[in-house]
Structure 1
Amino acid sequence: MADSDIARILRSDGPALSGDLLLKLQESGLSAEAARKRLSRGSADVAKLKGLVFPKGARFFYHVDDFGSERYWAALVDAIDVASPAYSAAIGALRAHGGIVPRQYFPIVSGAPIRQRKQIGSDTVLSRLTAVGLLEELVIHDVAYVSLGANGWFGGPISGWKNRLFVQEIMLLAVADWARKLSMVSFNSVAIRNLDGELPKFGTHAFDLCGPSYLQPMVRRGSGGGPKPGFLVCDAFVGEIDEAGVASFLRKCETS
Structure 2
Amino acid sequence: MTFLEQTIKEKGPILSSDLLDILLDKEKGLSKEAARKRLSRIRGDVAKVRGLFSDRQILFHDKAIYNSEEYFEGLTDALKKAGKQYHIILQSLAFHYGQIKKEQLAAYTVNPVKNLKGHLTFHSAIEKLVKLQLVHQDDDNIFLLPILAEGSINGKRAKGIEVAKNFLLIQFNDWSRKIGLTSYNTSVFHGEFGKYQFNFVSPTYVGSLPKFSVKKKIVPGFLIADVLIGNTVTEKEVEFFINKLKTLKYQKQIASFIPFLIVESIDPKSLNLLKSEGVVIGFVNELFGEKYKELLNSLINLVTNAGAILKKNPEAYLDLISKLNKLVDGKTNNLRGDLFELAVGYFQGRICNSIDIGKIINYQGEQREIDVLGFTAQKIIVSECKGYNHKIDKDEIDKWLGNKIPVIRKWILDQPSISDREIQFEIWSTGGFTEEAVRSLNDKMIKTKKYDIEFYGLEEMMEKSKELKSKKFTEILREYYIKEI
With normalisation by structure 2, the TM-score equals: 0.47
Correspondence for 1:25: 23
Partner of 1:219: 210
Of 215-224 and 37-46, deviating more is 215-224
In the TM superposition, what are the counterparts of 1:189-200 in structure 2 within 5 Å?
A: 189-193=186-190, 200=191
Is 1:161 the counterpart of 2:152? The answer is: no
Q: Give the CA RMSD over aligned residues.
A: 1.9
> Aligned residue for 1:209?
200
Partner of 1:184: 181
Find 1:148's aligned residue among 144, 154, 173: 144
Unaligned stretches of 5+ residues in structure 1: 194-199
Q: Which of 228, 234, 253 is the matching residue for 2:245?
A: 253
Q: Distance in 2 between the 1:96 and 1:233 partners?
A: 21
1:12 aligns with 2:10: yes
Q: Say whether the 8 Å CA contact 1:220–1:230 is kept in structure 2.
A: yes
Distance 2:3 2:208 in 1: 62
Residue-by-residue CA offset, 1:53-110 (whole Å, 9 max, x unaligned) = 3222111111223333333323222221222222122222222222101122232233
Distance 1:131 1:244 in 2: 25
> Relative to 1, partners in 2 of residues 1:162 and 1:181: Cα closer, same or farther, differing over 3 Å?
same
In structure 1, how many angstroms separate the alpha carbons of the residues matched to 2:117 and 2:79?
Answer: 22
Relative contact order higher in (CA < 8 Å, ≥ 6 apart):
1
Whole-Å Cα distance in 2 between the matches of residues 230 and 93 of structure 1?
28
What's the offset of the Cα at 1:234? 1.2
| Amino acid corresponding to residue 40 of structure 2 in structure 1 | S
1:172 counterpart (150, 169, 180): 169
8 Å CA contact 1:112–1:122 kept in 2: the answer is yes
Q: Contact 1:93–1:246 at 8 Å: present in 2 too? A: no
Name the CA distance, whole Å, in 1 between partners of 2:233 and 2:119: 25
* Letter aligned with residue 146 of structure 1: I
Q: Do the aligned partners of 1:15 and 1:62 also contact (CA within 8 Å) in 2?
A: yes
Runs of 4+ in 1 over 4 A off after TM superposition: none
Q: Give the match for residue 196 of structure 1.
A: none
Q: Which residue of 2 aligns with 1:134?
A: 134
Structure 1 CA distance for aligned equivalents of residues 96 and 154 of structure 2: 10
Matched residue of 1:130: which SS? helix
Q: CA deviation at 1:5?
A: 1.2
Shift of 1:133: 1.6
Q: Larger strand proportion, structure 1 or 2?
A: 2
Q: Report the CA distance shift for 1:36/1:247 in structure 2 as closer, same or farther (over 3 A).
A: same
Equivalent residue number for residue 75 of structure 2: 76
Distance 1:153 1:85 in 2: 16
Match of 1:96 in 2: 95
Residues 242, 67 of structure 1: alpha-carbon distance in 2 compared, 3 angstrom cutoff: farther
1:45 deviation in Å? 2.2
Taking every aligned residue pair, what percent have the same amino acid on both sides?
A: 27
Q: Is the 8 A contact 1:80 1:88 kept in 2?
A: yes
CA displacement at 1:122 relative to structure 2 = 0.5
> Does the 8 Å CA contact 1:134/1:148 hold for their aligned counterparts?
yes
Tell me the CA shift for residue 174 of structure 1. 1.1
SS at match of 2:90: helix
Q: Deviation per CA, 1:13-50, whole angstroms, max 9, x where unpaired? A: 23111111111111111332221121111131211125
* Worse-matched range after superposition: 120-129 or 65-74: 65-74
Single out whichever of 73-82 and 63-72 deviates more from structure 2: 63-72
> Does the 8 Å contact 1:94/1:101 carry over to 2?
yes
Alignment partners' CA distance in 1, 2:240 and 2:136: 19
Structure 2: gaps of 5 or more residues: 249-485
108-117 vs 205-214, which deviates more?
108-117
CA distance in 2, matches of 1:55, 1:36: 16
The structure with the largest alpha-carbon Rg is 2
Which residue of structure 2 lines up, in the alignment, with residue 66 of structure 1?
65
* Alignment partner of 1:234 is 2:225: yes
- Which residue of the partner structure matches residue 197 of structure 1? none
- Deviation for aligned residue 1:125: 0.7
Contact 1:92 1:247 in 2 (8 A): no
Contact 2:113/2:192 (8 A) holds in 1: no
Distance (whole Å) between structure 2 residues aligned to residue 212 and residue 228 of structure 1: 9
